[in-house]
Amino acid sequence: MWVCPACGQHLRLSAVQRMRMLLDPGSAQPLTPATTVCDPLDFIDTRGYRERLRLAQDTTGLKDAVLIAAGSIDGHPVVVAVMDFAFLGGSLGVAAGEAVLTAAEHAVATRTPLLLVTASGGARMQEGPLALLQMAKTANAMAALDAAGILTISLITDPTYGGVAASFATLSDIVLCEPGARLGFAGPRVIEQTIGQRLPQGFQTAEFLLEHGLVDDIRPRSGLRATLAVLLTAANRRTAVTRRKAPASVVTMPEQLDDLDPERVLTLARHTGRSTITDHLAQWTDGFVELHGDRVGGGDCPSIISGIGLLDGRGVMMIGHQKGHSTQELVRRNFGMASPAGYRKAARVMRLAAKIGIPIVTLVDTPGAHPGLDAERHGQASAIAECLRVLGSVPVPVVSVITGEGGSGGALALAAADRVLMCRHAIYSVISPEGCTAILWKDSSHRERAARALRVDARSLLSLGVVDGVIDEPAGGAHTDPVTASLLIRDAVLSTLDQIEAVDDTERIRQRHRRYRELGRDLQNTAVAL
């Protein structure tokens, strides 16, 4: 795979090598772009542009810098456009732009996901403004794929700069990078000459971009096909779904639940032995591709995990708060208290789920959104509000489970679902009991009294209609048997998804809006009050 066994460096591949590596053997069917102008400016530097083109064609065996084909990966249809850096530095000219456009149009026409493999120094100087305008041309092609609901994936290889980075390469739904690949608008030499400073080590590398929330993940070549297979399987809407009855472990009538001591419920809800979203993913999914970052430079919040997984054979967008079991992990994950970047990441992947038509499952376990200075500076309130707006309008099914703590707006940002379930020993509240007693009683010793008054327990919340069902837990709490507890939640999620998926998209949204509109209303006296 042209990877150094000693240092792991990923060496450059030709477009032909890349096609052979990615696509199933014998599946590639070449696509032919329309004929474009050649040397529109009669450009000459140390040699004529036509001569440079002929030399590049003879060297690479390609007509231009982009090779396109329809094929399959692990049996799943895909359209692929691969750039070859050996062809004039993978520069984006008219012919290259036409090839990307042709691939995109074929993907729309056949309703097939598009995979873009980029390697470029930027727009082709020898074609002047016509090369520059290929950025708009290819961006429009990506917009057409968005409108058609077609999954797009970019694989960033080293290097990807300039007009390619600032157009189709970073407009894909999912942006993956090879290790060490560099991506940016201006190259490091240009930046250093402009600002008169040396750039930090690792600047613009895949690892730097991942840390700053600008790409979804880094994938070595050895694991790339498996990753792509999960994504393509998830985007395949032909998956057959077996309808299930609601499991006996889900209680929908409050009288079937006993009253629990508030102090005990608080202790069990916050127990560090309860399964986290990463534990559930390991139990539930046949494959999972984590999607990182808010794509606007806010970073990748470690308190929220998001990504596409295969749940019982179907693609599902999984989103959830991540706490941890050890003190070290709790600190690293900020105790599950997400930043604005975390909620913007969640909103981004919710929109992706809506685009490609896969359901959303959220797992809620947080004391609340992070209340720090940086969070306020970066718009915590608006980030939460955006999640609520997106969840209210997505046409796909949404199921949420309060698995531990459901604290305030930080929890609701992931829980404004079609159906909200709750674990037996979980809690859900407008404020923590500690916060309530500090404000109203001015005395921290009234925690239990506040918890009872706030009615944070499952039985009370089911009575209020805040949650639609309560999932049983093993005796003594979920932490006593995490595997069984996790499987009980999985069964409840699958059966609930089956119920919601049977409803038409438009009707589903109408029912979702009605659910929240009617909460707290005195329907019997509404007419009189009006």
**Rg (the chain; Cα; Å):** 26
Task: State the burial class of residue 357 (Cβ atoms within 10 Å of its Cβ: 0-12, 13-18, 19+).
Answer: middle
* From-to residues of CATH 3.90.226.10 in the chain: 15-234, 250-518
SS3 232: helix
What is the separation of C-alpha 329 from the centre of its chain, rounded to a whole number of angstroms?
A: 22
Query: What is d(CA 92, CA 504) in angstroms, rounded to the nearest whole number?
Result: 44
What is the separation of C-alpha 278 from the centre of its chain, rounded to a whole number of angstroms?
A: 15
* 173 Ramachandran zone, left/alpha/beta (phi>0; psi -120 to 50): alpha
What's the CATH architecture for 15-234? Alpha-Beta Complex (3.90)
Nearest Cα neighbor of 314 from 247, 230, 246 is 230
Query: What is d(CA 57, CA 49) in angstroms, rounded to the nearest whole number?
Result: 12
pLDDT under 70 in the chain at which residues?
237-248, 522-530
Query: What is d(CA 157, CA 119) in angstroms, rounded to the nearest whole number?
Result: 6
Predicted local confidence at residue 529, as pLDDT: 46
Query: What is d(CA 192, CA 188) in angstroms, rounded to the nearest whole number?
Result: 6
What is the separation of C-alpha 27 from the centre of its chain, rounded to a whole number of angstroms?
A: 29
Predicted local confidence at residue 160, as pLDDT: 97
Nearest Cα neighbor of 471 from 515, 509, 431, 419 is 419
Single pTM value for the model: 0.93
Predicted local confidence at residue 113, as pLDDT: 97
| CATH class label, 250-518 | alpha beta
Per residue in 214-238, pLDDT tens? 999 999 999 999 999 999 999 986 5
CA distances for 8 relative to 3, 158, 210, 220, angstroms: 6, 14, 18, 9
The residues facing 177 across adjacent strands are 156, 218
Predicted local confidence at residue 525, as pLDDT: 59
Helices and strands, number each (H, E), in the chain: 22, 17
**Is 232 within 8 Å of 113 (Cβ atoms)?**
yes
What is the separation of C-alpha 295 from the centre of its chain, rounded to a whole number of angstroms?
A: 10
